[in-house]
Amino acid sequence: MKKNSLPDNSIEGSLGRLESIVDEIEQTPPPLETLIERYEEGMKLLQICREKLDTAEKRIEIITRNSRGEAALKPFEKS
């Protein structure tokens, strides 16, 4: 994988790439232009993570309790 290419859009891939960006910056601080590129890439990765977490949260909210306290499933509506 190229250093500035986005991962496979999975939350695990995005988090892994974010970790490698942080490691790269901590080990040998790159030139300003590279820092800006990494910042932009990091912001895109954060957006991917937010979207994945929002989707997961919505899926979890599908599981609700009915009036008797039993778990019940409701259909998930994609937004």
In a domain, 19, yes or no: yes
* Distance from the first to the final alpha carbon of the chain: 32
Could you read off the pLDDT of 12-69 as tens digits, one per residue? 999 999 999 999 999 988 999 999 999 999 999 999 999 999 988 877 777 766 666 6
Give the DSSP H/E element, type plus range, for residue 37: helix 32-61
Residue 46 lies in domain: 11-73
What is the domain-level CATH number for residue 46?
1.10.287
Domain-located, residue 56: yes
Residue 49 lies in a domain: yes
Burial 20-55 (b: 16+ CB within 10 A, else e): ebeeeeeeeeeeeeeeeebeebbeebeebbeebeee
What is the pLDDT of the chain when averaged over all its residues? 82
If one counts the domains in the chain, the total is 1
Q: Is residue 59 part of a domain?
A: yes
Compute the distance between CA of residue 15 and CA of residue 62 in angstroms, rounded to an integer.
26
Q: What was the pLDDT predicted at 13?
A: 93
**6 assigned to some structural domain:** no
Residue 3 in any domain: the answer is no
